[in-house]
């Protein structure tokens, strides 16, 4: 009986050892092949507009930072020991993704009125799991245009939404929306005064379609409040005289708007040349006509 027990123990030990080794092998295989993913998240709030998170995933492979494309990121809202999944996004070819909230009311703050968001990646065959947490409070920018002594100014105030208190000594950027990137106006750094306000003069002569300009007042990547942006539309620019040739016949138009001389001259040449070619081919038929042979015989 003891002999049987001994065999049973040895057998169990071997099976255990096999499981252990295979388990280590699996672990080793995963560790050897998988790379770490670094997640990046920025919170952006547009006043009276959307709220979104700019997400990014990179990995250090062969001493180079590589964008991690096509991975699924889960966005969750953490508050008071609760975690609610808000949604999922997949990174694009540049390893970026954007997750849009309808508004800030769609998520809940914790007891300190701080919003906590967790972005997580559950891992796959190539990359290990990763997560990133960001926390921010809600801030409000109130911006408008005022005119003093015929000079237009952007006036903006920065408030903590929860406390409803003005925030002083915060840097705000003022810029005008342009086609490729915004054009900064005023000083490089505009710090809010004790009333949480800035006043930036608008230069004259900024061109805009019909003179309309869109100004942006931006609290940029604040540790406490993230990025908050207020947009102000105002017809204070110099109207752009549109010189579009879209409806004109030009050398760069599509084929239905070819300049008339380029339709007439080449087509006349084509018709002329091919007319002569057809005439010459008809001549070949005339030469081969039996009538001519008959004449010759006569």
Partner 1 sequence: MKVTNKLINDLAPREFSKAGVIWTWLLIIISVAGIIAYIDQVIKGQIVTNMNDYALWGIYISNFVFFVATSFVGAVTVAVLRLTNNSWRTPIVRIAEIISVAAIIMAGITIMIDMGRPDRLLNLFIHGRMQSPIIWDVIIIPTYIVISLLLLYFPLLPDFALLKKHFKKTSPKLSKWYGKLSLNWTGSADQKRIQLKSIQIVAFLTIPAGFMLQTIDAWLFSTLFRVGWDSTNMGAYFISGASVAGVGALVTVVYVIRRAYKLEDYITDYHFDKMGKFLVLTCLIYLYFNINEYLIPEFTSKKEEITHMNVLVSGKYAPLFWFVNIAGLVIPIITLLFKQGRKPLPMFFIGFLVVLGSWWKRYLIVTPTLLNPFLPMEGVPEEWHHYFPSLHEWLITAATLAMALLIITILVRYLPIIPIQRTADEQKLLKTEKNTEI
Query: Could you say which residues in the range 245-284 bind partner 1, by CB under 8 A?
Result: 251-255, 258-259, 262-263, 266, 269-270, 273-274, 276-277, 279-281, 283-284
Stretch that binds partner 1, among 28-36, 84-92, 114-122, 286-294 (CB under 8 A): 286-294
Minimum distance from residue 293 beta carbon to partner 1 (Å): 6
Minimum distance from residue 256 beta carbon to partner 1 (Å): 9
Q: Residue 267: in which H helix or E strand, if any?
A: helix 260-287
Shorter beta-carbon distance to partner 1: residue 70 or 245: 245
Query: Could you say which residues in the range 192-221 bind partner 1, by CB under 8 A?
Result: none
Shorter beta-carbon distance to partner 1: residue 20 or 281: 281
Minimum distance from residue 64 beta carbon to partner 1 (Å): 14
Tokens encoding 96 = 């970026």
Shorter beta-carbon distance to partner 1: residue 102 or 255: 255
Q: How many CA atoms lie within 13 A of 286 on its CB side?
A: 6
Q: How far apart are CA 155 and CA 193, in angstroms?
A: 12
Q: Residue 284: in which H helix or E strand, if any?
A: helix 260-287
Minimum distance from residue 67 beta carbon to partner 1 (Å): 16
Minimum distance from residue 280 beta carbon to partner 1 (Å): 5
Shorter beta-carbon distance to partner 1: residue 30 or 65: 65
List, as one string, the DSSP characters of 136-178: E--EEEEEEEEEETTEEEEEEEEEETTTTEE--S-EEEEEE--
Question: Which of 4, 62, 244, 290 is in the footprint of partner 1 by CB under 8 A?
Answer: 290
Whether 174 and 165 have beta carbons less than 8 Å apart is answered as no
Nearest to 68 by CA among 24, 19, 130, 9: 130
Minimum distance from residue 249 beta carbon to partner 1 (Å): 9
CA distances from 86 to 107, 142, 175, 215, 282 (A): 8, 28, 32, 32, 79
Question: Which residues in this chain contact partner 1 in the complex, by CB under 8 A?
Answer: 251-255, 258-259, 262-263, 266, 269-270, 273-274, 276-277, 279-281, 283-284, 286-290, 292-293, 295-296
């Amino acid at each position: 009986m003891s002999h049987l027990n001994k065999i049973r123990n040895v057998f169990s030990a071997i099976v255990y050892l096999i499981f252990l080794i295979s388990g280590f092998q699996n672990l080793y295989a995963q560790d050897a092949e998988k790379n770490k993913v670094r997640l990046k998240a920025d919170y952006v709030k547009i006043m009276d507009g959307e709220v979104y998170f700019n997400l990014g995933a990179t990995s250090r492979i062969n001493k180079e930072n590589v964008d991690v494309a096509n991975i699924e990121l889960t966005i969750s809202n953490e508050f008071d020991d609760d975690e609610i999944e808000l949604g999922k996004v997949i990174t694009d070819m540049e390893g970026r993704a954007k997750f849009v909230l309808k508004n800030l009311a769609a998520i809940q703050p914790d007891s300190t009125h701080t919003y906590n968001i967790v972005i997580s990646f559950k891992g796959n065959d190539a990359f290990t799991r990763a997560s990133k947490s960001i926390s921010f409070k809600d801030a409000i920018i109130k911006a408008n245009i005022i005119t003093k002594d015929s000079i237009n100014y952007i006036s903006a105030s920065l408030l903590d939404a929860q406390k409803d208190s003005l925030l002083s000594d915060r840097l705000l950027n003022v810029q005008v929306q342009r086609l490729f990137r915004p054009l900064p106006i005023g000083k490089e750094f505009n710090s809010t005064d004790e009333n949480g306000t800035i006043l930036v003069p608008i230069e004259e002569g900024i061109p805009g379609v019909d003179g309309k300009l869109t100004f942006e007042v931006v609290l940029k990547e604040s540790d406490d409040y993230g990025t908050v942006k207020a947009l102000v539309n105002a017809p204070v620019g110099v109207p752009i005289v549109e010189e579009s040739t879209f409806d004109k016949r030009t050398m760069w138009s599509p084929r239905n708007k070819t300049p008339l001389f380029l339709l007439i001259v080449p087509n006349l040449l084509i018709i002329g040349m091919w007319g002569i070619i057809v005439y010459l081919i008809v001549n070949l038929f005339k030469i081969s006509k039996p009538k001519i042979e008959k004449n010759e015989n006569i």
